[in-house]
């Protein structure tokens, strides 16, 4: 099982304690699920080895895009399972983004993107600050027309967490590589919005012991 072996592949909500302490403190009440404005938090089934009823985030389906700004899940947690000190979204450390499939990345291939990032049937929500800072919008209702795909950078809620770097000194070469910086919080917005299938960029759950202040 993941907890027993030390292998952990799921994102916990913002503010989660070190994994063993988190599992001990969480009472599976679902308060964090209820207050999330984009319904990013789900409760685990019992056959996966992650703890029955324990909250997690599957970023590909729905990222934590900080639509609440105040990290409402932390405030709602009655036991302190989500109690890592957070005063602003830039301090959240859920995981870290990784370019898992460079060959699938449109920017790395020098390609643009036109249309809906995840198609008409995608149910995910994202806070588009240029539309409405407080009301998340369906990704399926927001078309793009980009000469070079930069969706992971464009829709990242953390300024400077991802940037595109030219892959050569040739000005005619449109290819750019996404580069993850230390500012990445692992919220998952880049993985959710990536139009490649499967996603070219993914979130790895951070080793939770590294998060203890």
- Tell me what pLDDT residue 5 has: 42
Residue 122 exposed, middle or buried by CB count within 10 Å (0-12, 13-18, 19+): middle
- Cα 156 to chain centroid, rounded: 9
At residue 156 the predicted structure's pLDDT band, cuts being 50, 70 and 90, is very high
Cβ contact 73:32 at 8 Å: yes
- Tell me what pLDDT residue 110 has: 98
Nearest by Cα to 181 from 155, 163, 205 = 163
Q: What does the pLDDT look like over 71-96, one tens digit per residue?
A: 899 999 999 999 876 777 888 889 99
- Tell me what pLDDT residue 50 has: 58
- Tell me what pLDDT residue 210 has: 43
Structure tokens of 191? Answer: 């993985």
Q: Positive or negative CA dihedral for 84, 136, 105, 162?
A: negative
pLDDT of 56 higher than 70: yes
Cβ contact 15:64 at 8 Å: no
Partners of 116 in beta bridges:
143
pLDDT of 212 higher than 50: no
At residue 119 the predicted structure's pLDDT band, cuts being 50, 70 and 90, is very high
* Residues contacting residue 210 through CB under 8 Å, at least 6 positions apart: none
Integer Cα distance of 183 and 195 in angstroms: 23
Cβ contact 137:155 at 8 Å: no
């Amino acid at each position: 099982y993941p907890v027993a072996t030390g292998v952990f592949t799921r994102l916990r909500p913002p503010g989660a304690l070190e994994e063993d302490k988190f599992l001990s403190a969480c009472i599976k009440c679902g308060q964090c699920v209820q207050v999330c404005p984009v319904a990013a938090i789900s409760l685990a089934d019992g056959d996966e080895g992650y703890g029955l009823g324990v909250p997690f985030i599957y970023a590909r389906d729905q990222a934590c895009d900080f639509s609440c700004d105040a990290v409402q899940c932390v405030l709602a947690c009655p036991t302190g399972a989500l109690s890592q000190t957070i005063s602003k979204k830039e301090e959240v450390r859920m995981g870290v983004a990784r370019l898992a499939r460079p060959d699938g990345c449109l920017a790395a291939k020098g390609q643009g993107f036109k249309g809906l990032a995840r198609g008409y049937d995608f149910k995910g929500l994202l806070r588009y600050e240029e539309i409405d800072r407080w009301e998340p919008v369906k990704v399926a209702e927001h078309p793009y027309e980009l000469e070079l795909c930069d969706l992971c950078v464009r829709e990242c809620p953390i300024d400077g967490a991802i940037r595109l770097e030219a892959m050569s000194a040739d000005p005619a070469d449109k290819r750019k590589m996404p580069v993850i910086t230390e500012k990445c919080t692992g919220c998952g917005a880049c993985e959710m919005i990536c139009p490649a299938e499967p996603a070219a960029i993914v979130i790895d759950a951070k080793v939770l012991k590294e998060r203890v202040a």
